[in-house]
């Protein structure tokens, strides 16, 4: 008994130390990046061209599915070599903003970037900073309840009915189809985030959800876990439908807290692992 108590005390005292070390690392990196950001840098020509193309897409001069000019035409337009144009297009392709079709009639085509594309780039930076899935989950615990609260303030009957349809879909998903359950749950969260009316927060939330959902696709959701989640979803919908932001926030917090509790109980190794880049 005495040795076990001593071991527990040792573990408890180690936790604040690790947390303090983690904070020190983050502060040190933030300080270095702040100093580095104060030094002007010369951007590559390809990046400037890529940014100009994005501005054209953003101003709706170009729409999803539209072809961009050929490499030769863009090289002439920007007065650069085709190698520079290829580099600019490659930057946009990696970000999910265009696709490159090969063969006759091919070339760069404008695509509709998804939150998974944003999440992919975000996961790269998370990986470099050794961010864990526990930190990712904790961020959702802070962010998603706020979005649910704002969704209740902006709710309309059409979107509320769409949320109810999603819950009905989730009720029909077979127990062994975890991927479909996770994908449908992401749909629910995406709509709630969009209902908040805050595009930035909605993008961040959906990107985090995309990272999280993609990595936990093999997790088994038991009947009890699903029933608990469905109960929370219904309470969230009712709160949003009635414009009760406080209740929507509270139930969303409870939903994510319960999910995090189950993860800590059944899959602690996943939460402790560093977010990988995919």
Q: What is the DSSP string of 208-230?
A: HHHHHHHHTTT----HHHHHHHH
d(CA 146, CA 128): 28
Instruction: Assess whether pLDDT exceeds 70 at residue 14.
Output: no
Mean pLDDT of 13-24: 69
Q: Take residue 103 and report the two structure tokens written for it.
A: 């063969």
pLDDT at 103 over 70: yes
CB 237 within 8 A of CB 84: no
- Within a 13 Å sphere around the CA of 188, how many CA atoms are in the beta-carbon half? 27
How does residue 222 score in pLDDT terms, banded at 50, 70 and 90? confident
The values of phi and psi at residue 253, to 5°, are: -60, -45
Q: Among all chains, which residue has been given the structure tokens 């406080």?
A: 246
Which pLDDT band, with edges at 50, 70 and 90, does 244 fall under? Answer: very high
Q: What is the mean pLDDT of residues 7-17?
A: 51
**DSSP E strand boundaries for the chain:** 98-101, 107-110
- The C-alpha atoms of residue 153 and residue 192 are separated, in whole angstroms, by 11
Work out the pLDDT band at 4, boundaries 50, 70, 90. very low
Residue 125 has pLDDT above 60, yes or no: yes
Segment (H or E) for 127:
helix 115-128
- The answer to which of 26-40, 100-114, 160-174, 248-262 has the lowest mean pLDDT is 26-40
Q: Is 130 left (phi over 0), alpha (psi -120 to 50) or beta?
A: left
pLDDT band at 40 (very low <50, low <70, confident <90, very high): low
Token pair belonging to 69: 């000019």
C-alpha 85/C-alpha 74 separation (Å) is 7
Which of 192, 183, 268 has its CA nearest to residue 233?
Answer: 192
Percent of the chain with pLDDT over 90: 55
Q: pTM of the prediction?
A: 0.79
Average pLDDT value for residue range 124-153: 94
pLDDT at 6 > cutoff 70: no
Has residue 89 got a pLDDT over 60?
yes
Q: Give the Cα separation of 184 and 131 in Å (integer).
A: 26
Q: Using CA atoms, how far apart are residues 236 and 148, in angstroms rounded to an integer?
A: 8
Instruction: Please enumerate, as own/partner, the contacts of 67-74 that have beta carbons within 8 Å and a separation of 24 or more.
Output: 67/107, 67/108, 67/109, 67/110, 68/98, 68/107, 68/108, 68/109, 68/110, 70/107, 71/107, 74/49
pLDDT tens-digit map of 182-213: 889 989 999 999 999 999 999 999 999 888 87
DSSP tag of 62: S
- Identify the H or E element spanning 66: none
- Between the CA atoms of 111, 143, 35 and 16, what dihedral angle is there, to the nearest 10 degrees? -140
Q: Domains of the chain by range and CATH?
A: 45-110 (1.10.10.10), 116-272 (1.20.120.530)
Beta bridge pairs of residue 274 = 132
Helix (H, G, I), strand (E, B) or coil at 275: coil
Contacts of 149 (CB under 8 A, 6+ apart): 245, 246, 248, 249
Rg (CA), the chain: 23
DSSP 3-state of 132: strand
- pLDDT at 42 exceeding the cut of 60: no
């Amino acid at each position: 008994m005495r040795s076990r108590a001593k071991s527990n005390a040792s573990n408890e005292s180690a936790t604040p130390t690790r947390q303090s070390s983690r904070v020190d690392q983050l502060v040190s990196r933030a300080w270095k990046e702040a100093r580095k950001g104060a030094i002007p840098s010369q951007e590559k020509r390809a990046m400037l061209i890529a940014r100009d193309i994005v501005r054209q897409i953003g101003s709706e001069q170009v729409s999803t599915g539209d072809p961009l000019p050929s490499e030769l035409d863009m090289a002439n337009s920007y007065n650069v070599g085709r190698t520079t144009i290829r580099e600019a297009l490659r930057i946009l392709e990696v970000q999910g903003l265009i696709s490159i079709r090969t063969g006759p009639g091919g070339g760069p085509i404008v695509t509709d970037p998804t939150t998974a594309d944003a999440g992919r780039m975000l996961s790269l930076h998370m990986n470099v900073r050794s961010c864990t899935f526990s930190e990712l989950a904790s961020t959702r615990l802070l962010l998603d309840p706020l979005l649910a609260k704002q969704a209740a303030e902006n709710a309309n009957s059409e979107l509320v009915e769409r949320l109810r349809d999603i819950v009905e879909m989730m009720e029909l998903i077979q127990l062994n189809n975890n991927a479909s359950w996770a994908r449908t749950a992401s749909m629910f969260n995406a709509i709630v985030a969009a209902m908040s009316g805050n595009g930035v927060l909605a993008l961040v939330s959906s990107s985090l959800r995309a990272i999280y959902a993609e990595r936990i696709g093999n997790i088994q959701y038991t009947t009890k876990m699903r029933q608990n989640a469905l109960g929370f979803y219904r309470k969230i919908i009712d709160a949003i439908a009635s414009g009760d932001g406080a209740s929507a926030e509270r139930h969303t917090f409870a939903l994510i807290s319960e999910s995090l509790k189950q993860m800590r109980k059944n899959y602690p190794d996943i939460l402790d692992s560093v977010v990988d880049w995919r």
